[in-house]
Structure 1
Amino acid sequence: MGRVAAWVPALAWAAVIFSLSAQPTLPAPEVPYVDKVLHFGAYAVLGACLAFAVHRSSLPMALAVLLGAAYGASDEIHQMFVPGRSPDVFDWVADAAGVAAAVYLYSRWRVRRGAPAGAAVARVPFPGA
């Protein structure tokens, strides 16, 4: 898979997130904080896609976290313009945490698979890594 093609899954998933954010209401169980869990999960998928893309593009893994967190922020701003929706900083925190968790797990997985020394994945700036 080429460097440009590696970004297709992340772009496609970002489009899914955008389309869901454009809906005035979404069905969700009446469980406290379940929306935060859903945000975390959706953005964990985005984080994994971004981690794959930056790895295949030989870019630093931190870029995946920054792009995912920035997209989460832009998603919350987007919701200001959708009737029935509103931005929530705690949704963004869940988004960023999902991205960071997935990027971290992807990085650890790459290391365990024996990524060559000096690969982009080896520059992960996470504590204890």
Structure 2
Amino acid sequence: MRSLGSKSNRSWFWPLLLTVAISVASGRSKIATPGLFQFDKAAHFLVFGLLATLVVRLGEGRRAAWLALLVVSLYGMADEWHQSFTPGRSVELADWMADTAGAALAVMLYACWPRYRAQLETPLGRKARVENPGANAPSSV
């Protein structure tokens, strides 16, 4: 069984890039968002769900799933603390709860739904060939 650190360093690129993007956004006083009610919580839920998916894919098994959830939840807490130093921003327990809920759902889906996990782990080029096997065949016309 692999732990979170067992894949190549290249595998950490996307989760690290997303954490940098989150940190940059948290450090801004104003963030452009649609005028939808409570869009903020949905954005937290979705972004941290994506982050958790990227992190849980780095390992295998229950230990990796729990570790991914813990790491992403703690990062959400640190992100809220980071916002406390940004003028015009505030710390909200509800934001951290949305972060953790998004991470929990993402990790649960990845760990408990083999078809979903297989879909995420299938290389893009292979998906196209499997979904449309005759697409790359030469035409007889």
TM > 0.5 fold call: yes
Conserved 8 A contact 1:10-1:53 = no
Q: Which has the larger radius of gyration?
A: 2
Aligned to 2:126: none
- Alignment of 1:75 onto 2:112: no
Aligned to 2:46: 41
Aligned to 2:25: 20
Deviation at 1:60, TM superposition (A): 2.5
AA aligned to 1:44 is G
Aligned to 1:61: 65
Deviation at 1:98, TM superposition (A): 0.8
1:9–1:114 CA distance, 2 compared to 1 (3 A): closer
Higher mean Cα deviation, 2-11 or 18-27? 2-11
Query: Structure 2 length normalisation: TM-score?
Result: 0.71
1:113–1:96 CA distance, 2 compared to 1 (3 A): closer
Aligned to 1:96: 100
AA aligned to 1:33 is Q
Gaps of 5+ in 2: 1-5, 119-141
After superposition, the C-alpha distances for 1:6-27 in whole angstroms (9 at most, x for unaligned) are: 2222111111111111111111
| Separation in 2, partners of 1:114, 1:28 | 31
| Separation in 2, partners of 1:10, 1:93 | 20
SS at 2:30's partner residue? Answer: coil
Identity of aligned residues (%): 34
| Separation in 2, partners of 1:114, 1:13 | 20
SS at 1:69's partner residue? Answer: helix
1:114–1:64 CA distance, 2 compared to 1 (3 A): closer
1:104–1:49 CA distance, 2 compared to 1 (3 A): same
Gaps of 5+ in 1: 116-129
| Separation in 2, partners of 1:112, 1:9 | 22
Note the aligned Cα RMSD (angstroms).
Answer: 2.4
Deviation at 1:85, TM superposition (A): 0.7
Aligned to 2:34: 29
After superposition, the C-alpha distances for 1:68-124 in whole angstroms (9 at most, x for unaligned) are: 000000000000001111110000000001111111111134x34798xxxxxxxxx
